[in-house]
Amino acid sequence: MSEKALRLGTRRSKLAMAQSGQVAEAVSRVTGRPVELVEITTYGDVSREALAQIGGTGVFVTALRDALLKGEVDFAVHSLKDLPTAQPEELVLAAIPVREDPRDVIVARDALKFMDLPRGARIGTGSPRRMAQLNAYARTHGLDIETVPIRGNVDTRIRYVRDGELDAVVLAAAGLNRIGRSDEVTDFLSVDTVLPAPGQGALAIECAADHADLIAALGELDDPFTRVAVTAERSLLAALEAGCSAPVGALADFPPLSAPLERGDPQADGQIVKEMRLRGVVGTTDGTRMVQLSTTGPVPQTHEQAMALGRDLATEMLAQGAAGLMGERAQ
């Protein structure tokens, strides 16, 4: 180990440590250098307030970025959905690896599926986006549910179900997969039912913009399909002027290879992917008012093309009243 270890900045949560550990192994392979994890506590980790109240944008990110800018770490790993859409000039997203499953899942008592939950079922989630779409789906399909705001890590959330306080909780499939707890999922929510958060399931590897050698090395881990997809999703979010705690869902995928690509299936041959579909949704948390639109076009070949796709769909959504729905997110 003649070369000095690279320092990877990560949040302290079990999920953050798991995904950072996986990235550390990959970075060590492509650089030939050891990687050590540097644990950093963020404001979002210590605050007990609801994310919508503390303005979810950046609360899990700022401390990591500060450590990067001070040179205390060489690179950082974020859950992409936590990143503000505005990118600081001094930092660069050197790699966005192959995306994990972007779907939301249910962990329910008695191994119940979403459609089999009893009348009046209490479903826990801290996400206005999930609340809006679950309530809208329930409203249109004759289901009787109550969405209950919760915070906490995966253990805390699942314990609400195990202890009988809630009938079910909604979590991200990617997170449970990364910590080896996907066997606790009782139902996968189709993206036709609940669109995920922009960037959900994807990781962002960020470093200082002046570290050219490190940027080049980290770039080996970049997946071009994931990058154009999440760029379009985040462009939609930015054009709606919504933070990551707003009730906005978005997903860019590549029909008919969406499922294998999203799960990192090596048999998903990029050569035959011709089109990318972008879907977006905004709604009031009670599910009474929703704007949901989609667009399909050639797979973007540049960052700007991906950005334009998101901006254009956001413009259509705003024309249909999306701004007024987001304005009610604090209620």
**Residues noted as catalytic:** 81-82, 129-130, 151, 157, 244
SS3 for 52-63, per residue? HHHCCCCCCCHH
Dihedral sign for Cα 264, 156, 152, 325, please.
positive
Helix (H, G, I), strand (E, B) or coil at 294: strand
For residue 188, what are the β-bridge partners?
105
* CB contact set of 165 (below 8 Å; sequence gap of 6+): 122
Neighbours of 212 (CB within 10 A): 10
CB 307 within 8 A of CB 236: no
What is the 8-class DSSP label of residue 292?
E
Contact between residue 300 and residue 306 where contact means Cβ atoms under 8 Å apart: yes
Look up residue 105 and give its two tokens. 């899942």
Laid out side by side, the sheet with 121-124 consists of 145-148, 121-124, 168-172, 104-108, 187-189
- Asked if 150 and 48 count as a contact pair (C-beta separation under 8 A), the reply is no
| 3-state secondary structure string across 100-154 | CCCCEEEEEHHHCCHHHCCCCEEEECCCHHHHHHHHHHHHHCCCCEEEECCCCCH
Report the C-alpha gap between 287 and 130 in whole angstroms.
10
Cα–Cα distance, 23 to 35 (Å, whole number) = 9
